[in-house]
C-alpha cells in the first residue's frame, strides 16, 4: 500500500508532503528560528569590520551612475509582504464507513489478515485530491483478542484504519450509534489505531480532557495558516450503555454544547468550524423534522460553518441555511449515505447502494474570515456483487477507468445517478473531476489527553 503523500491522481511524482513530513518541516523551522533567536540574544552574530587604512579599497568607489556589484556588499534586507491572494482549499466528506460481514470477507487476504484498500481503490485518486479529507468511521475496531464482527453489532478488523489513511483520509468523525458496540476497549483501541495511522478523530474520547477538545487541522495556503476545527456527536448508541465511569467517552447531540464548543474553538484560534452529526432516521431521502431542527439551531448559533450529516444510509439534500458565522449562512449536507457497506436493494432501499462525496470549497481572503463558499457532490456507487468495490460515478459513465470487476450495467448506473439527482436537485452542482490540490497535506494536531 502507498501512503497518501506519494499518491497523485495525475502524476507519478509525489503530489505534496504527507502529514508527518509537514509536521517535521514545522519542527525544523521552529528549531532554526530558536537558534537564530539565541544567537541574536547573546550577540553571537558577526558583523563586517569597519574599514581601516589597510582594508579600504585602493580604487575610488563606483559613481552612482555606474553601480558595480561587490562581493563584500551586504545583502539586502529581506522583506515580508502580506498575503495578496486568498487561501483556497477543498474539504471532502463522505458517507458511513460500515464494514458489514461481506465487506470484511472481501477484504480478507487469505493469510489471516485484511486489506480494505482494493475495495475503495477506484475512488482513492478522488480522496487524495482533496486538501482535507474527513471520513465517518461509524464502527469501532475489534479489540485485541476479539474476532471481527459485521452485524448487528460491529467490530472491524483494525487494519481498516491504516487502509483508510493509505486511501487519503486525514481524519474521521467517530460518534455514532455503534460507538460502544465493542465496549470501552473497542472505543479506545479505535482511537489508538487512528493515532498510529496519523489520523485525526473526534466524537469519542479516552479521557475527559480529550473529550473537551475539537480535532484541529492546519493548512498553509498563500502565506496563511488556516485552522479547521472538527466536532462530532450522535443521537444515541442503540440502547447500549455508555460507560458510567466515562460519560464523556461518546458525545451525544446537544445543540447548546456544540455551539459552545464551536465558540470556544474560535476563541482559541480556529478559523473554520465543522460539525458532524449522526442522526436521525434511516432510509429516508428527506431530512426528518429533528434533523432540520438541529441544523437550524446550529445555524442560528452563528459559530459553525458546515454541518455534515450521517446515519440515513441514503443520500439527502445539501443546502445553505440562514445564520452561520457573521450571518453569512451555514452550509449543511444532511447525509451522504454510505461510503462502503453491503447495502443495496437486496436488503434495503436501492438508494443505499450509492453514496455521495461532498466537496466544500473554503476561501480565506488576506483580510477577512475563512468561509465555505459552496458545496459540490459526486455519486459513489457500491457494487456488492462485484467484490464490494466502490467507484466514482463520473469515471464509470465516461468509461475513463478500467473496472474489470464491475457487475453494474450502464442502465443500472444511469438509474442510480438519477436517484441521486432526484434528491440533491440543482441547487448544488455535481463535481465530475477530482479537484487539484492547492498545497501541502494538512497538519493533524493531536487532541490533548
Q: What share of the chain is helix, strand, coil (3-state, %, to 5)?
A: 30, 25, 50
Q: Which three cell numbers stand for residue 107?
A: 477484504
β-pairing verdict for 215-221 and 224-234? antiparallel
CB 244 within 8 A of CB 334: no
CA distances to 44, 135, 281, 356 from 319, rounded to whole Å, are 59, 20, 19, 15
- What pLDDT shows up at residue 82? 65
159-166 helix and 183-196 helix, angle to the nearest 10 degrees: 30
b/e map of 86-111 (b: 16 or more CB within 10 Å)? bbbbbbbbbbbbbbbeebbebbeeee
Q: How many CA atoms lie within 13 A of 232 on its CB side?
A: 30
CB 215 within 8 A of CB 179: no
pLDDT tens for the chain, residues 1 to 449:
333 444 333 333 333 444 433 443 343 333 433 433 333 333 333 333 333 333 333 344 444 444 444 444 454 454 456 667 999 999 999 999 999 999 999 999 999 999 999 999 999 999 999 999 999 999 999 999 999 999 999 999 999 999 999 999 999 999 999 999 999 999 999 999 999 999 999 999 999 999 999 999 999 999 999 999 999 999 999 999 999 999 999 999 999 999 999 999 999 999 999 999 999 999 999 999 999 999 999 999 999 999 999 999 999 999 999 999 999 999 999 999 999 999 999 999 999 999 999 999 999 999 999 999 999 999 999 999 999 999 999 999 999 999 999 999 999 999 999 999 999 988 899 999 999 999 999 999 999 99
* Kind and range of the H or E run holding 235: none
Q: What is the C-alpha to C-alpha distance for residues 24 and 238, in angstroms, rounded to an integer? A: 42
Q: What are phi and psi of 42, to 5 degrees?
A: -100, 0
- What pLDDT shows up at residue 427? 83
Closest CA to 339 of 308, 369, 366: 308
DSSP of 142-171: PPTT---EESSSEEB-THHHHHHHHTT--E
Cα-based angle 282, 285, 289 (whole degrees, multiple of 5):
75
DSSP 27: H
289-301 helix and 255-267 helix, angle to the nearest 10 degrees: 30
CB 75 within 8 A of CB 118: no
DSSP 140: P
CB 75 within 8 A of CB 424: no
Domain boundaries, the chain: 87-445
Class of domain 87-445: alpha beta
* Kind and range of the H or E run holding 303: none
Closest CA to 348 of 373, 376, 377, 382: 382
Conformation bin of residue 198: beta by default, left when phi > 0, alpha when psi is -120 to 50: left
Contacts of 283 (CB under 8 A, 6+ apart): 312, 313, 314, 348, 349, 351, 352
CB 390 within 8 A of CB 380: yes
CA distances to 61, 163, 429 from 116, rounded to whole Å, are 72, 6, 30
Q: What is the C-alpha to C-alpha distance for residues 449 and 439, in angstroms, rounded to an integer? A: 30
Q: What is the C-alpha to C-alpha distance for residues 362 and 93, in angstroms, rounded to an integer? A: 13
Q: Which residue has the cell 497538519?
A: 443
- What pLDDT shows up at residue 56? 38
Q: Which residue has the cell 556588499?
A: 73
Amino acid at each position: 500500500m502507498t501512503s497518501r503523500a506519494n499518491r497523485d491522481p495525475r502524476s507519478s511524482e509525489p503530489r505534496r508532503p504527507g502529514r508527518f513530513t509537514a509536521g517535521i518541516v514545522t519542527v525544523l523551522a521552529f528549531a532554526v528560528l530558536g537558534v537564530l533567536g539565541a544567537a541574536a540574544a547573546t550577540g553571537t552574530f558577526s558583523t563586517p569590520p569597519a574599514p581601516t587604512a589597510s582594508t579600504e579599497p585602493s580604487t575610488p568607489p563606483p559613481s552612482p551612475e555606474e553601480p558595480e556589484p561587490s562581493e563584500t556588499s551586504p545583502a539586502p534586507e529581506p522583506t515580508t509582504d502580506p498575503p495578496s491572494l486568498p487561501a483556497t482549499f477543498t474539504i471532502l466528506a463522505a458517507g458511513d464507513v460500515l464494514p458489514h460481514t461481506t465487506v470484511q470477507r472481501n477484504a480478507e487476504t487469505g493469510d489471516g489478515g485484511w486489506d480494505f484498500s482494493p475495495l475503495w481503490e477506484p475512488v482513492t485518486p478522488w480522496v487524495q485530491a482533496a486538501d482535507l479529507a474527513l471520513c465517518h468511521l461509524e464502527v469501532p475496531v475489534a479489540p485485541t483478542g476479539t474476532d471481527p464482527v459485521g452485524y448487528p453489532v460491529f467490530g472491524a478488523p483494525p487494519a481498516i484504519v491504516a487502509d483508510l489513511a493509505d486511501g487519503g483520509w486525514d481524519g474521521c468523525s467517530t460518534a455514532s450509534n455503534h460507538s460502544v458496540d465493542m465496549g470501552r476497549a473497542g472505543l479506545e483501541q479505535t482511537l489508538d489505531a487512528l493515532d498510529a495511522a496519523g489520523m485525526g478523530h473526534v466524537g469519542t474520547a479516552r479521557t475527559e480532557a480529550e473529550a473537551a477538545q475539537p480535532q484541529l487541522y492546519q493548512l498553509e495556503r498563500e502565506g496563511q495558516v488556516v485552522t479547521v476545527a472538527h466536532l462530532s456527536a450522535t443521537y444515541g448508541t442503540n440502547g447500549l450503555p455508555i460507560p458510567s465511569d466515562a460519560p464523556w467517552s461518546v458525545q451525544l447531540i446537544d445543540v447548546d454544547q456544540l455551539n459552545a464548543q464551536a465558540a470556544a474553538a474560535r476563541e482559541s484560534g480556529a478559523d473554520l468550524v465543522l460539525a458532524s452529526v449522526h442522526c436521525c432516521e434511516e432510509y429516508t431521502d428527506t431530512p426528518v423534522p429533528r434533523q432540520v431542527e438541529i441544523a437550524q439551531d446550529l445555524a442560528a448559533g452563528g459559530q459553525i460553518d458546515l454541518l455534515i450529516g450521517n446515519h440515513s444510509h441514503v443520500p439527502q439534500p445539501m443546502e445553505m441555511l440562514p445564520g452561520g458565522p457573521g450571518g453569512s449562512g451555514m452550509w449543511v449536507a444532511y447525509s451522504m449515505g454510505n461510503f462502503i457497506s453491503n447495502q443495496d436493494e437486496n436488503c434495503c432501499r436501492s438508494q443505499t447502494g450509492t453514496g455521495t462525496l461532498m466537496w466544500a470549497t473554503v476561501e480565506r481572503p488576506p483580510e477577512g474570515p475563512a468561509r465555505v463558499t459552496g458545496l459540490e457532490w459526486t455519486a459513489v456507487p457500491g457494487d456488492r456483487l462485484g467484490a464490494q468495490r466502490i467507484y466514482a460515478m463520473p469515471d464509470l459513465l465516461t468509461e475513463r477507468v478500467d473496472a474489470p470487476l464491475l457487475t453494474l450495467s450502464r442502465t443500472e448506473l444511469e438509474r442510480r445517478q438519477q436517484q441521486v439527482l432526484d434528491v440533491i436537485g440543482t441547487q448544488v452542482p455535481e463535481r465530475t473531476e477530482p479537484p487539484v490540490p492547492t498545497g501541502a497535506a494538512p497538519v493533524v494536531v493531536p487532541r490533548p489527553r
